[in-house]
Structure 1
Amino acid sequence: MRAIWKGAVSFGLVSVPVKLYAATESHDVSFRQVHAKDGGRIRYQRICSLDGEEVPYADIAKGYETEDGEMVILTEDDLAELPSASSREIAVEKFVPSDQIDPMLFEKSYYLEPEKTGTKPYALLRQALLAADRMAVVTVALRQRTTPAVLRVRDDVIVMQTMMWPDEIRTPDFTVESGEVKAAEVKMAKMLVETLAGDFDPAEFEDDYAGAVEAVVKAKIEGGEVTRTETSTKSAGEVVDLLAALQQSVEAAKQARGEAS
């Protein structure tokens, strides 16, 4: 794997230099749009919807469409004045019980690997999360945008999962009527649940669609049904005194809450 980001996790006065790796990859089947007669790729032009002319990249700007359909053009100067998120810090805001976070908020997952200078504080953070049975709520700047995330432990590795902002979760615009359910039906439903009860094993699930597509493609290749075209392609510093930093962090947190040392 190749690191996509380098920075440091900070909780209190403790800093853990880390590398960030994408923890997942998509195996979705993707198709190309081609000309059925000769297999040539279909190309798309950048056509202006008003004058019908093709627009070169140099003349393409960013536009924000308002709710009433008005288009506001944003210049490079406008974009430069927007808040910029370029911090290389994963800042721990608080440690919360794992069951308080709705799974719907989770977006993407990343592995955190400690730099050589961060092995000990990394192990400390990992052990603290396990012992407390909590997740660390953090903020991090990725792709020029600050986003909330959580840190948790998976197989001795700290995982960061970015989250949606609360207002990005849609509210269903329908209501579900509560039908009358008989006691006998509830009892039978419980029996069905017990019959199908078990532990989750992801290895039991297989992507049948992707496998079927690969089989069809392989059969066509072996049968010579292949069209060849010209376009065919395929850190941060070391923590000097870890205990002292932890003690100072605890004292600072207590003072912030108005508690006595």
Structure 2
Amino acid sequence: MRAIWKGALTFGLVNVPVKVYAATEDHDVSLHQVHNKDGGRIRYQRICEIDGEVVPYADIDRAYDDGERTVVLTKEDIESLPAERSREIDVVEFVPSDQLDPILFDNAYYLEPDSASPKAYVLLRRTLEETDRTAIVRFSLRQKTRLAALRVHGDVLVLQTLRWADEVREAAFPSLDEPVRISAKELELSASLVDSFAADFDPAAFTDDYQEELRTLIDAKLEKGDAIDTAQTFGEHDEAEAGGGEVIDLMEALRASVERSRAARTGSSDPGEKKPAKKAPATKKEAAPKKKSAKAS
């Protein structure tokens, strides 16, 4: 695997350098379009609608259209955004793992320790396991600020991007508003049917029949000689990588983080300063992500 991103996972004063890898891949057979008359490959071109000329990718900017006006965002504009320069995965909070609704889950990424010693990485992994907590983090990837869940998968930390709250549609269906009567006998028979199909889930037991048949069809055509020479191939785009930092004095960083957190709760500017006992503060509500009023397209 090739790392797609390098940076540091941070919580408190602890810094864990990591490499990020895509945890999944598409197994579909890659197909492209051709002219059915002569097999010539169909190419797509970026054509300017004003002058009709083909525009090189390097000369393309992005823009937002509100229906009446268009705002052009240059590469410099995009790069000036603070999130675009960040190479850190910041832990915002640790939440009970069962509070995360799977509908929020998006893409998954493996994190590999990127320092001489993986101690801080293993410590965080063990802590998440023993507390049954998931870390909610913020980071920037591919020109977007992301919210993600940092969880444990075997011996590896996995970063699972989350959809923002306003990206999940409300499931409001009038057909479910009407009361439905379910008899005890119907429920019993339904439960019996479920039991007859009960099993432990094994992902490897399932295969994509369509893709297997597609590969068989392609192989058969190749064996018959029903193919033409490929004159051109698709190019690949390599994503830039950047370096991360080193973990310095893990125990000291942990102690300082705990003291700073305690000082913040008591309102003391000096972690060692004693304060008179106070009534426990109310639980701080989770801040909802700001809804963006405009998107780049």
TM-score, structure 2 length as denominator? 0.78
Identity level (%): 49
Q: Deviations over 1:99-154 (max 9, x none)?
A: 11111111111111112334111111011001101111111111232211111111
Q: Is the contact made by 2:21 and 2:111 (CA closer than 8 Å) also made in structure 1? A: yes
Q: Is the contact made by 1:16 and 1:118 (CA closer than 8 Å) also made in structure 2? A: no
Q: Where in structure 2 are the equivalents of 1:34-45 lying within 5 Å?
A: 34-45=34-45
| Superposed displacement of residue 244, structure 1 | 2.4
Which residue is 2:187 aligned to? 186
Q: Distance in 2 between matches of 1:120 and 1:225?
A: 56
Q: Is the contact made by 2:20 and 2:110 (CA closer than 8 Å) also made in structure 1? A: yes
Which residue is 2:116 aligned to? 117
1:74 pairs with 2:72: yes
Which residue is 1:175 aligned to? 174
| Superposed displacement of residue 10, structure 1 | 1.2
Q: Distance in 1 between matches of 2:115 and 2:233?
A: 43
| Superposed displacement of residue 56, structure 1 | 2.4
Q: Is the contact made by 2:109 and 2:158 (CA closer than 8 Å) also made in structure 1? A: yes
Tell me the amino acid that sits aligned with residue 71 of structure 2: I
Tell me the amino acid that sits aligned with residue 157 of structure 1: V
Tell me the amino acid that sits aligned with residue 126 of structure 1: R
Q: Where in structure 2 are the equivalents of 1:142-221 lying within 5 Å?
A: 142-177=141-176, 178-221=179-222
1:32 pairs with 2:32: yes
Q: Distance in 1 between matches of 2:81 and 2:209?
A: 46
Q: How many residues align?
A: 257
Which residue is 1:239 aligned to? 248
Q: Where in structure 2 are the equivalents of 1:1-150 lying within 5 Å?
A: 1-48=1-48, 53-57=52-56, 60-66=60-66, 69-76=67-74, 78-79=77-78, 82-150=81-149
Q: Distance in 1 between matches of 2:153 and 2:40?
A: 45
Tell me the amino acid that sits aligned with residue 227 of structure 2: V
Q: Distance in 2 between matches of 1:55 and 1:78?
A: 24
SS in 2 for 1:231: coil
| Superposed displacement of residue 31, structure 1 | 2.0
Q: Is the contact made by 1:147 and 1:163 (CA closer than 8 Å) also made in structure 2? A: yes
SS in 1 for 2:85: coil
Q: Against the structure 1 CA distance between its residues 15 and 84, is the aligned structure 2 distance closer, same or farther, given a 3 Å change threshold? A: closer
Q: Alpha carbon RMSD of aligned pairs, Å?
A: 2.4
Q: Distance in 2 between matches of 1:71 and 1:173?
A: 33
Q: Deviations over 1:193-212 (max 9, x none)?
A: 12222211101110111100
Q: Is the contact made by 2:78 and 2:84 (CA closer than 8 Å) also made in structure 1? A: no
TM-score, structure 1 length as denominator? 0.88
Gaps of 5+ in 1: none
SS in 2 for 1:236: coil
